[in-house]
Amino acid sequence: MSLNRCLFALAFCLMGAAGSVRGAELSGRVVAVNDGRGVPGSSVTLTYGAGAAGPKAITVFTGEDGSFRFPANAVAPTAGSTLQASKLGYQQVTPFAVDGSRANVKLALEPTANIAASVPASAWLANLPPSTAKHVVMANCADCHQFPSPRVREYAAKIEAVRGGPEGDAKALGEWRKVVRHQAWRTVVSYMKSKHYSIFPDESPASLDSVDWETVQNDQYTFWNDRMGDLIAKYLAENFPHSTDSMVPDGYALGAPLGSTAATVIREYALPDTSLVREAIFVPGSSYIWGADTYKNQILRLDPETGEQKWYRVPYQGSTGPHTIVGDSSGLIWVSMVDHNQFGRFDPKTEKWTLWTLQPSGLKSGNSMASAAVVHDIGIDSKGQVARDGTGKIWLTLLGTNEMATLDTASSDVAFYKPTQVPGLSPVNHMLYSVVLSPDRRCAWFSQVNAGIGCLDTKTKKVEFETTFAEGDGPRRMATDNAGNLWIPLFGSSQVAQYDTARHKIVATFDLPDRAATPYAAAWDERRKALWVSGANADVIYRLNPATGKFTVYPLPRHMAFIRQISIDDKTGRLVSAYGNYPVGSGPSMAVTIDVGN
Amino acid sequence: MNHNTSIPKLLAALLGFTVSAMAAELDDGQARVLFNTKGCNGCHAIEQMHLAPSFRSISVRYAGASADTVDDLAQKILHGGAGNWGLVPMISNPGVTPAEAQAIATWIILLGHRTVDGGPQGK
């Protein structure tokens, strides 16, 4: 046997032995099949077969020459693992199976004439011009899940497939078709009112089975009122693409330079399909990722090294639980519950819960959305951690009643306050959402998706510095930096507003690279002096450089990657989030971490 | 809520359906749970027209149905329809299994003239 053959045999044996170990070599190059040149900026996703500890998939990106390298501490590919290269406008020529270490892998991409299967949901609406109606659509239809999701697109195709119009008269048929579209989308809007309730499990008092139909369809108890619903139906009837089967290569673009580099690593952790972990965070002092499972009324402890999952049931009799999860500087975890007006704290060291009830007066009787406080967001600081005002109280938003609440955790005293009330909107219609405490703790800045923002003075308890946004803009989960700026993601108009808290005015508004990306949340990154913005509808995370006003984009390696809150690890700068399409089962059930690479 | 399983079973036998064991065993309580967990009650109720025809109306239209009709209805539950009851098509239901669709279709067709206490959404 020649020396080369001996070396080859030795290498082959080493490859086999490396199947279940870390530190394996996995590298190669992505090339264009037509000219053999390297493809820069392509993602390469290693999806593990069964039996691998840690993430289900790891994604890296190619450098300028098309080369890629997986991190040295990654688990070597197990049997059944695959490599998938992806770049918008290209498709991989053949599937690539990988088992064990491999160097010099070559993945071939070819240009594709139809990018419909690879674009995010936002692509179908991104190029429609901004308008109030479009923004109302985005602010409401992408509220719980990506829009248009594959199921929405499938339904739109059914609308076009309806038959029975006047034959032989093209003009009359065209008018009839408009009526069909309008009626169908109006029905969808009404169906989504039902969905407010059908997301609750059978045992919930707010389950659709337990609520009368008049209540279900009452626009005072839903996130949008009937006027907005009519706007939505009309806009979709007139503007939704009649076919989403194909899209030409220049039909959609990321719209900004890639932020991801050859040093960027994305890890995705598979969670049970029966869970709905919509938010995942880092907590100071903990090496775990923590998540809130809205559907199963429990929180998740995930070991990012091994992938081990441990679940902690929230100890109350509600049927559906944690919506928002936030850590604090001492390592405690705080969660708000959708049901039963509950708010809780979990101590990871003792694994003990403390629960409080926040029940404002004036709750309506019955099981409507207005009969519960729906404890929602928790006041945070510039690190995204739980903040306390000057008297040590925690601030919360109550979505069900459009109220703010304070909680004194030492005495358990609770108090309620009125933020902005907009005539014509019911309490739920306001969609009171996030609360951010200013660095001086004077302002509890709140956002109302269907109204604007304001400062509720933590001493006087009066609303100051209200700023109303245009209808549909949809201010959602805000962030504050340490330079006096409030960063406001505008979910409906897909922009980010910069509010100067000293001058009490918006000083800049930044258009997202994709105007249907629906930024659910902004997160301030003090280490990088950057703002992270979730592109919930576009399968991306954006990074805004406030100094230049420019975005870069970090594509996520999965469809329906409905990113909401972004948490930043104090120690490492790593980002963590989760894919949170509502209801359960409508999208991938995964937590995700991102090593930015710089 | 009526959990009596004998009526659907008896009717199935009388009509000579060849239905799965699960379909034959679907009582009103099970049906109600399925309607809720699978989201059927987002559009349909037993007696009243909500966003889509009531189960009663569907039952009347398909009275005297054959086993083929059960299959057809089950297919519609799974894959949706294209406006057979008007201009508005029915959504597909990928979360419903074929066995569940068969069971629901059978339950609807066997609804006949009997009464069902279906809770707030059953009216």
A152-155, long-range: CB < 8 A, 24+ apart: A153/A124, A153/A244, A154/B92, A155/A184, A155/A188, A155/B80, A155/B89, A155/B91, A155/B92
Instruction: Name the nearest CA neighbour of B119 among B59, B56, B41.
Output: B41
Amino acid, single-letter form, for residue A361: S
* CA A591/CA A578 separation, integer angstroms: 4
What the block records as the tokens of A302 is 């995930």
**B97-118 pLDDT, tens digit each:** 999 999 999 999 999 878 887 6
* CA A205/CA A367 separation, integer angstroms: 6
3-class SS letters over A91-160: EECCCEEECCCEEEEEEEEEECCCCCCCCCHHHHCCCCCCCHHHHHHHHHHCCCCCCCCHHHHHHHHHHH
From the candidates B49, B78, B87, which should be mutated to test the interface with A, based on the most A CB atoms within 10 A?
A: B87
In this complex, how many residue pairs, one in chain A and one in chain B, have their CB atoms less than 8 Å apart? Answer: 84
Peptide bond into A557 cis (omega under 30): no
Q: Looking at the complex, does the CB of residue B50 fall below 8 Å from at least one CB of chain A?
A: yes
ipTM score of the complex? 0.87
Q: How many helices (H) and strands (E) does chain B have?
A: 6, 0
* CA A361/CA A370 separation, integer angstroms: 12
Q: How confident is the model at residue B14 (pLDDT cuts 50, 70, 90)?
A: very low
What the block records as the tokens of A397 is 């938003």
CA distance to A61, B108, B117, per residue, from B114 (Å): 63, 11, 10
Q: Looking at the complex, does the CB of residue A528 fall below 8 Å from at least one CB of chain B?
A: no
Instruction: Check residue A86 and report its DSSP letter.
Output: E
What pLDDT is attached to residue A598? 81
**B44-84 pLDDT, tens digit each:** 999 999 999 999 999 999 887 788 889 999 999 999 988 78
CA distance, residue A420 to nearest chain B CA (Å): 32
Beta carbons of B51 and A161 less than 8 Å apart: no
Chain A residue with minimum CA distance to B120: A212
Q: What residues in B contact A158, CB-CB < 8 Å?
A: 80-82, 89-91
Of A164, A191, A213, the CB nearest to B121: A213
Backbone angles phi, psi at A515, to 5 degrees: -85, 15
What the block records as the tokens of A448 is 């109302």
3-class SS letters over A257-307: CECCCCCCEEEEEECCCCCCEEEEEECCCCCCEEEEECCCCEEEEECCCCC
* CA A96/CA A82 separation, integer angstroms: 6
What the block records as the tokens of A31 is 């090339």
What number of CA atoms fall less than 13 Å from residue A156's CA on the CB side?
Answer: 19
* CA A205/CA A213 separation, integer angstroms: 14
Of B43, B50, B82, the CB nearest to A161: B82
| Cβ neighbours, 10 Å, residue A211 | 28
What the block records as the tokens of A417 is 């306050």
Q: What residues in B contact A211, CB-CB < 8 Å?
A: 120-121
Q: How confident is the model at residue B25 (pLDDT cuts 50, 70, 90)?
A: low
What the block records as the tokens of A356 is 């409080």
What pLDDT is attached to residue A12? 35
List beta partners, residue A266: A59, A594
In a structure prediction context, what are the per-residue pLDDT tens digits for chain A, which is 598 residues long? 344 444 433 333 333 333 345 666 899 999 999 999 999 999 999 999 988 999 999 999 999 999 999 999 999 999 999 999 999 999 999 999 999 889 999 999 999 999 999 999 999 999 999 999 999 999 999 999 999 999 999 999 999 999 999 989 999 999 999 999 999 999 999 999 999 887 777 777 788 888 999 999 999 999 999 999 999 999 999 999 999 999 999 999 999 999 999 999 999 999 999 999 999 999 999 999 999 999 889 999 999 999 999 999 999 877 778 999 999 999 999 999 988 899 999 999 999 999 999 999 888 888 887 788 999 999 999 999 999 999 999 999 999 999 999 999 999 999 999 999 999 999 999 999 999 999 999 999 999 999 999 999 999 999 999 999 999 999 999 999 999 999 999 999 999 999 999 999 999 999 999 999 999 999 999 999 999 999 999 999 999 999 999 999 999 999 999 999 999 998 999 999 999 998 888 999 999 999 999 8
Instruction: Check residue B98 and report its DSSP letter.
Output: H
What pLDDT is attached to residue A23? 64
* CA A451/CA A455 separation, integer angstroms: 14
3-state helix, strand, coil in chain A (%, to 5): 20, 35, 50
Of B92, B95, B123, the CB nearest to A154: B92
Q: What residues in A contact B44, CB-CB < 8 Å?
A: none
Instruction: Reduce the DSSP state of residue A205 to 3 states and report it.
Output: coil
Instruction: Name the nearest CA neighbour of A186 among B60, B69, B88.
Output: B88
Which residues fall within 8 angstroms of residue A470, CB to CB, at 6 or more apart?
Answer: A132, A135, A493
Q: What residues in B contact A209, CB-CB < 8 Å?
A: 32, 35-36, 41, 119-121
Q: Looking at the complex, does the CB of residue A257 fall below 8 Å from at least one CB of chain B?
A: no
